[in-house]
Structures are given as C-alpha cells and as structure tokens.
Chain A
Amino acid sequence: MILFLGGRLSVVVDPLVPELSRSVTIPNSENPLQSSFDAFTEDIDTNIGLLRKKMISDNLVIETRSTGTKSAKKLAVVYLEGTAQAKVVQSIMKKLEDNRGLELTNVRDLTRILGHPQFTLTPTYISSELPGETTQELLNGKVVILIDQFSFAFAFPAIVADLWSTTLDVNYPRLFQIFLRFLRMGALVLAIVLPGLYVVLNSVNPELLRIQLAITVAKSREGVPYPSLIEMLLVLILLEMIIEATIRLPKNIGPTITMIGGILLGQAIVQAKLVSNLLIIILVASAISNFALTSYINASGIRIYKYVVLFVSAFFGIWGLEAAIIWLVLYFASLTISTVPFLSVSLKEEVPDE
C-alpha cells in the first residue's frame, strides 16, 4: 500500500489487510497415489483458479452466484459444456435460482437447495479435496459446485458406479484399474451381507453349510450365552463406537483407542466367552470391506444398511437376506438425483442414461 501525503512525499506501508486464507497445501483427508498433490483451500477464487489451471478448455463454464438472505454465501457452478448433460445443468441451475433465498452454511443445506431427497442411503454428491480428481469428475460429465470457505468440491449427481470407482483410478494401468474396481464391487457385496450371513448360517439356516463347517461354526460359539443376533449387534456397535472415537481425537491420543480397541475386540472378548472368535473374523472382514469402498461418506449408507440386512436375516434366514438385497436394488432403482437415475452407467451427454 502506498500513501500519498501532499505533493512529493510518499510513504510505503505494509499491507493493512491481513491474509485470511491459507496457501495451497497437500490434501489432509485424501492420500492420492501418482497424482498431483495440491488441494483445494477455503478461498473460492483460489479454488476456481486451481480448476482453471488444471483444465484449459473453451468449454469450461464457471458461473458464480450467491445465496442466502441473512448471510450471503458465494458459490460457483462449474461444468464442461457438451460433456455434462444439458438437463442436469438446467435442473441444478433452476433449483439454485428458485431457492436463492435459502441459507447455505453446510453441505446438507446445499443438497436441500438442490432439492435432493434428505433421507437417502447414499450421498447424492461426490466430494473431493483434490483439483485433479474434480477435473476428472468434470470430464465424466458431473456438475461441480464450489462453496466459498469450503475446501471441498462437490460433484453432482452421484451414480451407482461411484460406490466402486474413484476418478484417481485412471492414473493406474488399465488392468489394475479393472482389478481394483472388481475388488471394490466385491467389498460392497461383502460389506452388506457378511453380518447378516453370519446370523443366517449360525442360527436360522445352519443346514446350508457343509457338515464339517457347520460343526466348526457351532463349536466356536460354545459357551456364548445369547443368540447370535445379540452377539453380532453388541460387537458391531462396539466397532462403530471405536471408529467414531478415533475420527476426531487428536493425532497423539488416537493410537490409544486403536490399542484398547484392538485388545478388546481382539482376544479379550473371545477369551471371556462373550462372543465367538468366528464372529471377530466376520466383523473385521466386514469392517475392512466397508472401508475398501471409495470414500468414507460414500460408504456410510452401506454401513447403516447392514443393520437392516442383519435384522431381516435374523427373522427370515436366507430368504430375508435375499429380500433385503432386493429391497436395496429397488430402492437404488427408484432414486433419481437431479433428473439422473442413480442406476446410470454414465453421465456423459452422448451416451444414453439408465
């Protein structure tokens, strides 16, 4: 800043406005492999700049607008013209226009402004901290919304393939990418059915198993005083608590919980004959497969739905398990986000949807 005092005299003063935004750093919540490492910051102009730098194209459309009456919030809608479906862009723009008076302070406000159903099993968007990933989302035909003071980009709408594919996969060799995606699809199925299947094979339909295996399963439960549904619920809820406890703890206390949880769910609970050791195996496998899905938020619906599967399976055995899966398929088929059916294969303009 330069101050002109009178005619010839001028004084140079340091900037009066302090810098309120942090600089571009590496991502904090994602660990990309073989990709660019810069991440979005809180400042929306920086974020738009990052996107523009990553994608130099005539078709890149960036529309900024603001929403809210009590407090104004700046947001930017970014899409690739000709790649994103026109009807998706129109529906998002229309909702933003219609609901411009609504307050926008968090992510759920954004989905409400866009008119998405509030009780969905999967998130209706894909969030990312990486401009590189967001660029790929744009190329896949998604519409990205940046909100000021949010260091995440939200890509709309989510489709079923987002459960098992991340846009960072394209940086790997093709064969490896296919392998990874099939692995995640398998993880998806396991995450949904494993706890239910344990209860089915243990208490409702043990005759499905080979006799040797059935005996092993029964033996491992020897001395456990309650039905397998209660056993499963008890340990599942403990596991959820451990996951929840580790998320917000400072980095120097976190390992304590991991250690205590490890002891609790590892050996002690089995030795005390409170649960069977087979259950611990099932539990760990289901937790691992749950987190093998593409992102924490994405997998949250699956994490909740496995309880539905668990209860229906406990009452109706293998038929209940099947019914729960059928219900999930019907539910996903009925979900439509910003005019796009959730069970779409691709979002690009030229390929037909569904």
Chain B
Amino acid sequence: MNKIPTLSLFVLLHLASIFAIFPERMIAATSKGHWMAITLLFAVELGVLWFYLKALSLAPGKTVIDICRETMGAWITRLIMLPFMTFLLIELLLLTYYQAVEIKAVLLQRTPVAAISALFVLLCLYGAWKGLVVMVRASMGWIFLFMPFILFSMFISIKNFRFHYIFPLWDADLSFLFRSDFYVGTVIFAGFLFLGMTATKTKIGFGKTAAAVGIIYMFAMASVYIPLLIFGQETVLHLQYPMLMASDTVDLEWVVFDWLPSFYVVSSSGLGVIKVSVLLWILVAILQQLFAPILDRRWILSVVSVLLYLACQWMPNSGTLNSYLYVNSYFCLYATIGFPIIAYFAARQHRKKVSG
C-alpha cells in the first residue's frame, strides 16, 4: 500500500461521515459553541490515533488482530472483537439504509428502496470482493471524481451566510457532553480503523495522518457551520439533511442544472459506497480470521452482503434509524476509543514477549 492513496482513503472515509449523520448530530448536540464539540471530538481522535498507530509500529507487518491474538489468545481476542463487530454490523446497516433513503428522497422518488439498496449493496460487495488494496488504489479515482462535487456542493451556498448566527461562541458548561447526539458523532472515527487491518510494511507516520485529520477537521467545521450560518440554530435543528438544504438555498444561473442538491447526494452516496465497502471488508476479514479460518473469504462476504440487504429491507422507517444510532454509539465508543487502547497495550506486551 502506498502512502498517498492510503491517506486519501483515510480522508474519504471521514468525509463519508461528514456527508451523512455527522452535521445533524453535532447541531442537535448543542445550541451554542458548536466548534467546541467538534474540536473535542477531533482532539480525542488524534489521541486515539496515536495509540493505534503506535500499536502498529510496535509490531510491524502485523494486523491488530494478529497482535491481540498472539498476546491474549484466540478466545479473549474473539471476546474483544465481538462488540467491535456489532458496531460494524449496525453501522453498515445504518449507512446503507441512510444512503438508500436519501437517494430515494432526493433523486428517485418513484423507485422502491429495495431496488436502490440492491444496487448500493452490489457495488459495495464488488468493492469488498476486490479487497482493501484495490479500494486504496481506487480512492485516488474517488478524489478526482468526487472532490469537485464535494467542494461544489459544500461551498456554493456561502453567499447566503448571516454571520451573526455564529454566536454564542462559548459554551461554558460543556452541555454537549450530556447529550447522546454528541456521542453518535463519534461514528466519524470509524474512518481510521482500516489502517490496522492489513499487514503492511509501509509505515504510516503519525505526522502525516495528523495533517490529514487537520484537513478533515476543516471539512467537519464547514459541514456544521455552513447550514448553521444560513438557517440559524432554531431552524436547522429541524432539518433532516441540513447540508443538502443549504445547497438548495442558492440559484446559480451558469449551471445548467436546476436542482443543485443532487450534487450533494451524488457526493454523499459516492462516499457512502466506499465507506460501506471498506467496513464490509473489515468485518469479513475479522470474521474469517477469528471465527471461520477454513471458509473462503468470498463466501462469508457474499452471505454478509445478502444479510445486509435483507436487514435493510426490514428497517421500517428512518425513525428506527435514529434509535439504532443511539444504541450503536456505545459500541462505537468501544470500537473507536477502547479498542485502539487495548491494541496499544497488547502491542506493548507483544514486544516484551518477542524481545524477552
């Protein structure tokens, strides 16, 4: 794996959350000083990322699963990975359903969700089938194809800003810490998990990754503040897709397209595909390594994809999506904060074992 494509996949996976779920949760989490909540999240991510990358550099050429298995044994590793896999499973389901509903709502009102999600799952199956290395390589293509759409749909509405909506800037009692919406926002962290899932000799330095996190931080801030500065907190709170509505407030005469939010949906679903494929690949990799080493990876993948598709049909409406998001935030906290720290200590043990 090469460095630049790996980092670009890293950025894309984070952007996928920014283009789904993240902004509305941040807006719901607090009514003032949104930047504090976002900054806190990213500070935590930097810390966790340091643990995760350190764990990987302590045992070069090994995946985090290898590290855990070699220090703690197979059964404890399975136990550790169970909540992690639950997180992946629910996150996959939610993301697929979210994207299918969004595409239906904005672009294809007459097409059933079943058909839209079939194409979506099929694409992700293809991506995961080809493997992580292929997706890392493809991420460069994604950057070239989708970056123009992403930037365009984010920043066209800037002329409608009312800057006084930015106040109040300070939230003295950190009220967002007591809102579950804030913790749902941690799904954005899922973007770094893939770094530890392949055995690679290429070392990804913390400095470069931190720089990538910096870029993502800019996008995250923009994704919350653009709708906020256009509609104000009271209005934006009630919008299901705040970024999408923000891009609907402008009328650009030089664009032949009238329905500008479609650019948002195009970039959002494109990013969704790559995130779901990568998470699907991770889930299948864990399943195969820990639970069914005799089975072929592609069989497991096909079965998981079919289950994902069926579960997607079973979701009654987007209200259920919300309740699952809250449930999943516990697993998410474990998978993105607890697990890297466990991996770090396991890697230290591993090193002692090897050298001692």
Task: Say yes or no: B119 contacts A329, CB within 8 Å.
Answer: no
Residues of B near A323 (CB, < 8 A) are: 119-120, 123, 273
Q: Determine whether the beta carbon of B111 is less than 8 Å from that of A334.
A: no
Q: What residues on B are CB-neighbors of A196 within 8 Å?
A: none
Q: In the complex, are the beta carbons of A319 and B269 less than 8 A apart?
A: yes
A333 touches B266 (CB 8 A): no
Q: Pick the interface stretch among A25-33, A207-215, A276-284.
A: A207-215
List A197-218 residues whose CB lies under 8 Å from chain B.
204-205, 207-211, 213-214
- Taking a contact as CB atoms under 8 Å apart, the answer to whether B108 and A333 are in contact is no
Q: Select one of A205, A322, A333 contacting B138, CB under 8 A.
A: A333
Query: CB of A182 within 8 A of chain B?
Result: no
Are A211 and B270 in touch, CB under 8 angstroms?
A: no
Contacts of A312 in B (CB 8 A): 119
Q: How far is the CA of A352 from the CA of B202 in the complex (A)?
A: 13
Question: In the complex, what distance in Å separates the CA atom of A354 from the CA atom of B257?
Answer: 35
**How far does the Cβ of A331 sit from chain B's closest Cβ, in whole Å?**
8
- A8 CB to closest chain B CB (Å) equals 77
B258-A354 in contact (CB<8A): no
Checking B107, B120, B126 against A330 with a beta-carbon cut-off of 8 angstroms, the contacting residue is B126
CA distance A225 to B126 in the complex (A): 37
Q: How far is the CA of A343 from the CA of B130 in the complex (A)?
A: 14
Residue pair B270, A326 in contact (C-beta under 8 Å):
yes
- Within the complex, which residue of B116, B127, B145 is in contact with A319, where a contact is CB–CB below 8 Å? B116
Indicate if B262 sits at the interface (CB-CB under 8 A): yes
Known: A208-B257, A325-B145. A341 touches B137 (CB 8 A): yes
Which chain B residues lie closer than 8 Å to A261 at the CB level?
none
Across the interface, do A319 and B119 meet the contact criterion of CB distance under 8 Å? yes
Q: Does B259 contact A (CB under 8 A)?
A: yes
Whether the pair A327, B262 counts as a contact (CB closer than 8 A) is no
Interface hits, B96-155 → A, CB 8 Å = 103, 107-108, 111, 115-116, 119-120, 123, 126-127, 130-131, 134-135, 137-138, 140-142, 145
With an 8 A cutoff between CB atoms, is A318 at the interface? yes
CB distance from B143 to the nearest CB of A (A): 11
A210 touching B256 in the complex, CB below 8 Å, given contacts A316-B119, A333-B130: yes
B61 at the interface (CB under 8 A from A): no
Shortest C-beta distance, B152 to chain A (Å), equals 14
In residues 285-327 of chain A, which contact B (Cβ within 8 Å)? 312, 315-320, 322-323, 325-327
Confirm or deny: B2 has a beta carbon within 8 angstroms of a beta carbon on chain A: yes
Q: Which residues of A contact B134 (CB under 8 A)?
A: 330, 333-334
Decide yes or no whether A332 CB sits under 8 A from chain B.
yes
CA distance A332 to B103 in the complex (A): 26
Contact assessment for A210 and B119 in the assembled complex, using a CB-CB cutoff below 8 Å: no
Q: Which of B126, B137, B138 has the most CB of A within 10 A?
A: B137
For the complex, give the distance between the alpha carbons of A316 and B99 in Å: 14
Size bracket of the A interface:
20 to 34
Contact B259 A330 (CB under 8 A): no
Given the interface pairs A209-B257, A320-B119, the reply to whether A330 lies near B130 with Cβ below 8 Å is yes
**Min CB–CB distance A163 → chain B (angstroms):** 13
Which of B108, B119, B256 is the one whose CB lies under 8 Å from A209?
B256
Contacts of A330 in B (CB 8 A): 123, 126-127, 130, 134-135, 138
A312 to B134, CA, bound (A): 23
Q: How far is B5's CA from A137's CA once the two chains are assembled, in angstroms?
A: 26
Contacts of B131 in A (CB 8 A): 334
CA distance A209 to B257 in the complex (A): 4
CB-CB < 8 A to A332: which residues of B?
138, 141
| A319 proximity list for chain B (CB < 8 A) | 103, 107-108, 116, 119, 265-266, 269
Residues of chain A contacted by B5 (CB below 8 angstroms):
354
- Report whether B126 and A318 are in contact in the complex, using a CB–CB cutoff of 8 Å: no
Q: B residues within 8 A CB of A333? A: 130, 134-135, 137-138, 141
Chain B 3-16 interface mask (CB, 8 Å, partner A; 1/0): 00100000000000
CA distance A119 to B34 in the complex (A): 53
The reply to whether B262 and A334 contact each other, CB–CB distance below 8 Å, is no
Which of the residues A205, A210, A329 comes within 8 Å of B141, measured between beta carbons?
Answer: A329
What is the chain B residue whose CB lies nearest that of A353?
A: B2
Query: B105 to chain A: closest CB distance in Å?
Result: 12
On whether the beta carbons of A213 and B126 are closer than 8 Å, the reply is no
Contact B123 A213 (CB under 8 A): no
Q: How many angstroms from the CA of A353 to the CA of B1 in the assembled complex?
A: 10
- Chain A nearest Cβ from B128, distance in angstroms: 10
Shortest C-beta distance, B338 to chain A (Å), equals 32
A353 to B134, CA, bound (A): 14
Do A354 and B137 touch (CB < 8 A)?
yes
Task: Flag if A318 contacts B262 (CB, 8 Å).
Answer: yes
> Does A208 lie within 8 Å of B259, measured CB to CB?
yes
Known contacts A316-B119, A319-B103, A322-B266: A211-B258 contact under CB 8 Å: yes
- Kindly list chain A residues whose C-beta atoms are within 8 Å of the C-beta of B135: 330, 333
| B262 with A208: CB separation less than 8 A | yes
B247-281: CB near A (< 8 Å → 1, else 0) gives 00000000011110010011001100100000000
Q: Which residue of A lies closest to B257 (CB)?
A: A208
Which B residues form the contact surface with A (CB < 8 A)? 2, 5, 103, 107-108, 111, 115-116, 119-120, 123, 126-127, 130-131, 134-135, 137-138, 140-142, 145, 256-259, 262, 265-266, 269-270, 273
Q: Beyond A209-B258, A330-B123: 5 further Cβ-contacts under 8 Å? A: A207-B259, A209-B256, A312-B119, A319-B266, A323-B123
- 10 sampled A-B residue pairs with Cβ under 8 A: A209-B257, A209-B258, A213-B256, A317-B107, A319-B119, A319-B266, A329-B142, A333-B135, A343-B141, A354-B137
